[in-house]
Amino acid sequence: MLFVKLKEKRAAIFLLSFLLVIPILLCSCHNNTDSPYFPTSREPMSGYPEVSIKGWLMLDNNCLRLKSFYIFGKGSLLIWPHGYSVKTENGKTYVIDNNGDTVAGVGDRIKFAGGEIPLESVEQLIGEALPENVTGPFILFGYISSN
């Protein structure tokens, strides 16, 4: 009898914990607009980090993030170069470069040059504070790599 009560308590605690965590995860990057949150450098940069990075471009709570394992994990918020934009067409979201060419679409596996940067550098680079509910880690996107 005691074993059953302990088992029921553990199940109740697990369920309560799960229900408390889900709303926090769901609002971690939500910006209440139809288009994804898409931070870009406010000015052109003369150079970019050269670390080779690869992963899946995913839309997670209205933020474009790079994820190593497709849908699992939080992933890293990408900071895009000056002049890049995002568009949604036929239900799919695409990243467009400053020449009007499609760089990648949500769900694509991408390989690019870039590097992780701290929050302070992100806010300086984009020229504004990030929304309160937008969190890192942050990766500065440089350019698509063919290697």
Residue spans of the domains in the chain: they are 1-147
Cβ count near 37 (within 10 Å): 20
User: What is the spatial order of strands in the sheet that 85-89 belongs to?
Assistant: 85-89, 92-96, 102-105
- Check if the beta carbon of residue 91 is closer than 8 Å to that of residue 102: no
What end-to-end distance do the CA atoms of the chain give, in Å? 63
Q: What is the pLDDT of residue 9?
A: 56
pLDDT in tens, 85-119: 999 999 899 999 999 999 999 999 999 989 999 99
Q: Are strands 85-89 and 76-79 parallel, antiparallel or unpaired?
A: unpaired
Q: What's the mean pLDDT in 29-34?
A: 52
Instruction: Tell me what pLDDT residue 128 has.
Output: 93
Please give the Cα distance from 102 to 8 (Å, whole number).
53
In the numeric block, which tokens belong to residue 27? Answer: 């609002």
- Summarize the confidence of residues 71-75 as an average pLDDT: 76
CA 56 to chain centre: 10
Alpha helices, DSSP H only, in the chain? 2-26, 119-126
Q: What is the pTM of this model?
A: 0.73
- In whole numbers, what is the pLDDT of the chain averaged over residues? 80
